[in-house]
Amino acid sequence: MDKMLYVAMTGASQNALAQKAHANNLANVSTNGFQRDLEQARSMPVFGDSFPSRAFAMTERPATDFSEGPMVETGRDLDVAVSGKGFIAVQAPDGSEAYVRTGSLNIDALGVLRAGNGMPVIGNGGPIAIPPEQKVEVGADGTISIRSMGEDPRVMAEVDRIKLVNPDIKSMTKGLDGLIHTQNGQPAAADVNVRVVSGFLEGSNVNAVEEMTSVLALSRQFELHVKMMNAAKEGDEAMARVLQIG
């Protein structure tokens, strides 16, 4: 009886964690550049001082869905999205290199080019700094060109180039900060074949219907686990009554 109760209890607990993962995906269905988290459940033996005669349910996040989201046209020159495979390099708060798929770029008061999440965008030699300008353009290869203050409209000067990378997806992972990192912590090499599109942002790759269906299915499973715990309780009480009669 205790085996049944233990399995049901751990199953209900892990169902609640799985629901959180799907609820987070659902909450970010309209977040630009969001890539949904996958989840799976499996049974694990309980190891201890004796033989592993008990098992428990475990929910884990095995990977992130790196498939491309839909392109959303904005018409804004500093909105860029990766076309096809690849990532835009940004500087994480701890100074390491991280990656995003899309960026609503902005220039702060100090001239630093930042992504929509506030992270500095990395260029050929570190974070990109933009001199005072009248107009900024981002080329398909990530090249940033500006028209300086007072210059002729036909004169554009190249300032820097956004670092674009395309490492093996198997070597990438999404951190708790929501940014993409390499698993070994080392910066990925720049890839000249990666292209970006100006005037567009990449939408979330979350399928709202699929996530809602998963949440409902997990809710039904949670109810089933609770029923199993109640059945174990009733069986234990019935056995106690039999022993009292004896």
Residues 6+ apart with CB under 8 A from 208: 26, 29
Both structure tokens of 219: 């809710």
| pLDDT of 127 | 93
| pLDDT of 117 | 83
| pLDDT of 123 | 92
| pLDDT of 47 | 75
Q: In what order do the strands lie in the sheet with 143-148?
A: 133-138, 143-148, 157-161
| pLDDT of 231 | 83
Sorted by where each begins, the domain ranges of the chain are 2-66+206-245, 71-202
> Chunked in runs of 10, what are the mean pLDDT values of the chain (246 residues)?
73 83 91 88 74 72 87 91 93 92 89 90 91 86 84 78 93 89 91 93 93 89 84 78 73
Selection from 126, 125, 101 nearest residue 195 by Cα: 101
| pLDDT of 150 | 66
| pLDDT of 246 | 56
